[in-house]
């Protein structure tokens, strides 16, 4: 009841800011050398547990990055030109820790969300108001599972991506399911949390997520970047178990 009241009284952005400030205040108590956050460049004795089913060493006490965010940042640093070229970048539902970094780069950066309080630009992923073939890089992490009309969203991402561009898409995957689980009768917050793992998901993606992207025009490479980096570095960054961290690199 307390959580429900809290959500009704405070906006999503306010809650996010409260959480960010709270982390900042307790961050110094976590300082150490066991873990490193490459999003804010701080070291910690441990990361903060996170999730309905707690994941240990998940959240950065300083900037709020998660396992998937740190892995994505590393991939962007090592395998894209976002830090070295003046590109056009679309970032859907931007993570605060990445948003701060990208705004400092010499790029045309469009951070977009349906909620005007959560990003600089209002962007509906099912109706992106930008020209065809416009963006060099699209970042869409843990968004599509929340979108009722997923095929339309994927089609729009494909449309606005340039012919030589890449879209980096991530989502929660249940590796035990060959097919994505989606039931239109599951509508309550509690039922969604029970069946999909998170209260605001519309579906729980399975191993067919690559096919779902390809069916809407993308060429898709599935990258488990945890396996491409040194084991010591993977431990230092705490890059997760792979359910949330797969990178689907999409192109035309």
How far is the CA of 214 from the CAs of 23, 89, 117, in angstroms?
Answer: 39, 22, 32
The answer to whether 41 and 214 are in contact (CB under 8 A) is no
Nearest 5°: phi and psi at 228? Answer: -100, 0
Tell me what pLDDT residue 29 has: 78
> Which stretch of 3-12, 111-120, 140-149, 176-185 has the lowest confidence by average pLDDT?
3-12
Domain boundaries, the chain: 2-59, 67-251
What's 67-251's CATH class?
alpha beta
> Taking the CA of residue 129 as centre, how many other CA atoms within 13 Å lie in the half-sphere pointing to its CB?
8
- Digit-coded pLDDT (tens) for 205-219: 999 999 999 999 999
Contacts (Cβ under 8 Å, ≥6 apart) of 39: 60, 63, 65, 69, 70, 73, 97, 98, 101
Contacts (Cβ under 8 Å, ≥6 apart) of 179: 206, 207, 208
- Digit-coded pLDDT (tens) for 99-153: 999 999 999 999 999 999 899 999 999 999 999 999 999 999 999 999 999 999 9
Does the pLDDT of residue 88 top 80, yes or no? yes
How many other CB atoms sit within 10 Å of the CB of residue 120?
15
Instruction: Characterize 209-218 residue by residue with b for buried, 16 or more Cβ atoms within 10 angstroms of its Cβ, and e for exposed.
Output: bbebbeebeb
d(CA 132, CA 159): 5
């Amino acid at each position: 009841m307390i959580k429900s009241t809290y959500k009704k009284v405070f906006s999503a952005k306010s809650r996010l800011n409260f959480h960010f400030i709270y982390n900042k205040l307790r961050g110094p108590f976590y300082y150490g050398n066991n873990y490193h956050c490459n999003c804010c460049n701080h070291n910690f004795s441990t990361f903060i547990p996170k999730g309905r089913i707690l994941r240990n060493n998940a959240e950065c006490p300083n900037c709020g990055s998660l396992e998937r965010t740190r892995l994505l940042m590393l991939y962007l640093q090592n395998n894209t030109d976002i830090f070295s070229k003046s590109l056009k970048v679309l970032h859907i539902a931007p993570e605060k820790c990445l948003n701060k970094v990208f705004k400092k780069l010499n790029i045309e950066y469009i951070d977009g969300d349906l909620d005007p309080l959560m990003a600089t630009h209002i962007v509906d992923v099912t109706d992106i108001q930008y020209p065809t073939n416009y963006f060099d890089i699209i970042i869409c992490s843990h968004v599509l599972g929340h979108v009722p009309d997923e095929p339309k969203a994927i089609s729009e991402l494909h449309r606005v991506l340039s012919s030589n561009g890449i879209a980096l898409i991530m989502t929660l995957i249940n590796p035990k399911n060959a097919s994505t689980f989606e039931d239109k009768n599951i509508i309550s917050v509690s039922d969604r949390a029970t069946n999909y793992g998170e209260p605001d998901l519309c579906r729980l993606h399975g191993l067919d997520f690559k096919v779902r992207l390809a069916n809407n025009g993308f060429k898709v490479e599935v990258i488990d970047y945890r396996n491409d980096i040194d084991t010591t570095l993977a431990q230092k960054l705490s890059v997760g178990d792979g359910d949330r961290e797969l990178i689907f690199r999409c192109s035309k």
